[in-house]
Amino acid sequence: MNRGILWRVILAGFAVFVGLIYLIPSLPIYNALPDWAKKILPDKKIHLGLDLRGGIHLVLDVDVKKAVETHLDRMIEELRHEMRKHKIRYLKMERVGLEGIDIKLMREKDADVLSSIIKRNYPELEITHKEKLISLRLKPEEKHRIMNMAVEQALETIRNRVDQFGVSEPDIRKQQNNTILVQLPGIKDPARAIKLIGKTALLEFKLVDEEHSVEEALKGKIPPGDEILYQIKKDPRTGREIKIPFLLKKRTLLTGEYITDARVQIDPRTNEPYVFITFDSRGARIFARITGENIKKRLAIILDNKVYSAPVIQDKITGGRAQITGAFTMQEAHDLAIVLRAGALPAPVKVIEERTVGPSLGRDSIEKGIKAALVGGAFVVVFMAIYYNVAGIIADFALLLNILFIMSGLAMFGATLTLPGIAGIILTIGMAVDANVLIFERIREELRTGKGPIAAIDTGYGRAFITILDANLTTLIAALILFQFGTGPIRGFAVTMSIGIVANMFTAIFVTRIIFDYLYAVKGLKKVLI
């Protein structure tokens, strides 16, 4: 036993050393260290969960069905163009749900020409035709491709938007079922951030229909090819919203995808902010054509189906620049510029889960968690020392090592500490003494039967070992299942419990035994103070 002590002390010492190495990067003193020290230390640290740091957790559902619809609608527009080019007349062309497009031609002999055009330009479509009817259907792989693309693009766009927000350590990733997870720690204005992220930001330019009356249309008779959209103004006095209807031609002449830049400026005359947008060369050409063909007509600027403004086109605009005014606040203008720069979402997203923790609650939770841990821990430490004497103090030392190992373990895995995680640490403190209690009670029993100290310690540890292993195993099983099926905070709990149990077995059995052996086998103390 004496010979064993040295290598055991080295092993234990090594474990503590490794533990400290991994723990230091997570401690405040890390910043005060010189650079050479920082280089040799590992770069993993403990992350604080959103519930301790404050921040937003969002799950966004991407409306992939809409993406497919939009894709098909765009195809219809392009086909219209193609058919006009080749002088193919049709009676009807419409989208069929999410499946494809049905076309009814005027002349059956056009069918072959059309088929070859479609085969050439759209190989992803399956074509069937019967007399004058041509049915185009999306192949299933193509449908999936469109849906996946929509999610990928949404991911990119949201990343761009979040980038502009300037958040440290954002976590944005794809999840199953066409959802996107967004976690932003430390956000000061969560409501604004959420609005920014979820905005579809589809910018469209449409002509106002000045030939028909808005009032007639409101009564129910909307002329074909038109639609009614509203401009929402806030009455500055009452704060109530006023909706002003506009009768517009449905056809979208230009969208925001051609925008290369968007800046907030202040109109010197009215002192109100507006957004100044710049188009790319293609967009500039389209814009020049639209404005050139429609001088003196009103062009409505629409964002997410809400009319922002509808200025009169005074002149052909060739510079590729435009202004979006709308009597919004500085912050609204700023946010609008952000989404225009980052681009529109390819399909609408819906927030289906939101967990926001304000920074003050996060701080509170950390404080309270630490306080509970300290008070609980202090009680256990004092109690063990009183009840089990010197042996109790040995157990206390093991407990402290235990906590060190839990924290290092978290750092080593780059795990996240959550509030339930702190609860897990507190629970581990309470349960950790169990192992020592089992051993000590057994040692006491053996001493009572008259055994000498060394024999009593030996038997105590031996008998108790299997039981400790067992007892911890059941809690470990529960923790592992919780890890598998739990969400973020619950996972934090499972992780701290699991690490705690494993660390506990090491400290309670291995480490304390070293100390006992040293005192009684090496130093030869006669009386077991337990």
Partner 1 sequence: MEIIKPGINIDFIGKRKIAYFISGSLILITLFLLAWKGPRYGVDFTGGVVIQVRFDKKKSIDEIREALKPIHLDDSIIQEFKGKEAEYLIRVRKTNIDLAKVHDQVKDALIARFKKGVEIRRVEMVGPKIGKELKQKALLAIFYSILFIAIYISGRFEMKWMMSIVMATALIISVYTAFSLGAKVTWLIFIAMIVTLGLCWFLKLRYALGAIIALIHDVTITVGAFLITQKEISLAIVAALLTIVGYSLNDTIIVFDRIRENLRKPKKQPFPILVNKSINETLSRTVLTSSTTLFVVLALFLLGGKVIHDFAFAMLVGITVGTYSSIFVASPILLIWEEEFGKR
Q: Hey, how many other C-beta atoms are within 10 angstroms of the C-beta on 172?
A: 19
Chain positions 175 to 234 lying near partner 1, rule: CB under 8 A, are 190-191, 194-195, 198
Contacts of 466 (CB under 8 A, 6+ apart): none
Alpha helices in 174-261 (DSSP H): 190-198, 214-219
Put residue 216 in one of left, alpha, beta given phi > 0 → left and psi -120 to 50 → alpha.
alpha
Assess 389 for contact with partner 1 (CB under 8 A): yes
Please, which residue, 96 or 191, has the CB nearer to partner 1? Answer: 191
The contact pattern for partner 1, residues 61-80, with x = CB under 8 A and - = no contact, is: x-------------------
Among 11, 59, 222, 454, binds partner 1 (CB under 8 A): 59
Among 13, 292, 311, 358, binds partner 1 (CB under 8 A): 358
Q: Would you give the end-to-end CA distance of the chain in angstroms?
A: 21
Among 377, 409, 453, 460, binds partner 1 (CB under 8 A): 377
Assess 467 for contact with partner 1 (CB under 8 A): yes
Among 3, 474, 523, 526, binds partner 1 (CB under 8 A): 474
Among 319, 379, 400, 462, binds partner 1 (CB under 8 A): 379
Among 238, 386, 523, 524, binds partner 1 (CB under 8 A): 386
DSSP E strand boundaries for 169-252: 171-175, 179-185, 203-207, 226-234, 241-249
Residue with tokens 């052909």: 316
Q: In angstroms, what is the minimal distance from the CB of 477 to partner 1?
A: 5
Assess 51 for contact with partner 1 (CB under 8 A): yes
Alpha helices in 29-130 (DSSP H): 35-40, 50-53, 64-85, 110-121
Q: In angstroms, what is the minimal distance from the CB of 237 to partner 1?
A: 14
**Residues 133, 134, 138: CA angle, nearest 5 degrees:** 145
436 touches 395 (CB < 8 A): yes
Number of residues that bind partner 1 (CB under 8 A): 76
In three-state secondary structure terms, 204 is: strand
Assess 376 for contact with partner 1 (CB under 8 A): yes
Assess 462 for contact with partner 1 (CB under 8 A): no
Please, which residue, 128 or 175, has the CB nearer to partner 1? Answer: 175
Please, which residue, 138 or 476, has the CB nearer to partner 1? Answer: 476
Scanning 41-49, 118-126, 292-300, 487-495 for contacts with partner 1 by CB under 8 A, the matching segment is 487-495
Q: In angstroms, what is the minimal distance from the CB of 472 to partner 1?
A: 8
Please, which residue, 223 or 488, has the CB nearer to partner 1? Answer: 488
Contacts of 337 (CB under 8 A, 6+ apart): 262, 263, 264, 275
Nearest CA among 474, 371, 379 for reference residue 422: 371
Assess 17 for contact with partner 1 (CB under 8 A): no
Chain positions 316 to 355 lying near partner 1, rule: CB under 8 A, are 350-355
Contacts of 164 (CB under 8 A, 6+ apart): 338, 341, 342
Q: Please report the DSSP string for 101-162 in residue order.
A: EEEEES-TTHHHHHHHHHHHH-TTEEEEEETTEEEEEE-HHHHHHHHHHHHHHHHHHHHHHH
Please, which residue, 60 or 284, has the CB nearer to partner 1? Answer: 60
Assess 481 for contact with partner 1 (CB under 8 A): yes
Quote the CA–CA distance of 483 and 494 in Å, as a whole number. Answer: 5
Please, which residue, 59 or 133, has the CB nearer to partner 1? Answer: 59
Residue with tokens 């306080």: 371
Scanning 62-70, 101-109, 300-308, 434-442 for contacts with partner 1 by CB under 8 A, the matching segment is 434-442
Q: In angstroms, what is the minimal distance from the CB of 59 to partner 1?
A: 6
Instruction: For residue 419, give the H/E element and its range.
Output: helix 419-448
Please, which residue, 137 or 355, has the CB nearer to partner 1? Answer: 355
Please, which residue, 10 or 477, has the CB nearer to partner 1? Answer: 477
62 touches 154 (CB < 8 A): yes
Chain positions 498 to 527 lying near partner 1, rule: CB under 8 A, are none
Quote the CA–CA distance of 440 and 235 in Å, as a whole number. Answer: 77
Classify residue 258 by its DSSP letter. G
Among 433, 457, 511, 528, binds partner 1 (CB under 8 A): 433
HSE-CB for 389 with a 13 A CA cutoff: 8
Contacts of 413 (CB under 8 A, 6+ apart): 44, 495
Please, which residue, 273 or 362, has the CB nearer to partner 1? Answer: 362
Contacts of 278 (CB under 8 A, 6+ apart): 259, 260, 261, 262, 320, 321
Chain positions 239 to 278 lying near partner 1, rule: CB under 8 A, are 239
Chain positions 404 to 423 lying near partner 1, rule: CB under 8 A, are 419-420, 422-423
Which two tokens mark 362?
Answer: 């996060």
Among 431, 455, 502, 525, binds partner 1 (CB under 8 A): 431
Please, which residue, 240 or 526, has the CB nearer to partner 1? Answer: 240
Contacts of 281 (CB under 8 A, 6+ apart): 320
Among 476, 509, 515, 519, binds partner 1 (CB under 8 A): 476
Please, which residue, 6 or 352, has the CB nearer to partner 1? Answer: 352
Please, which residue, 17 or 383, has the CB nearer to partner 1? Answer: 383
Please, which residue, 321 or 371, has the CB nearer to partner 1? Answer: 371
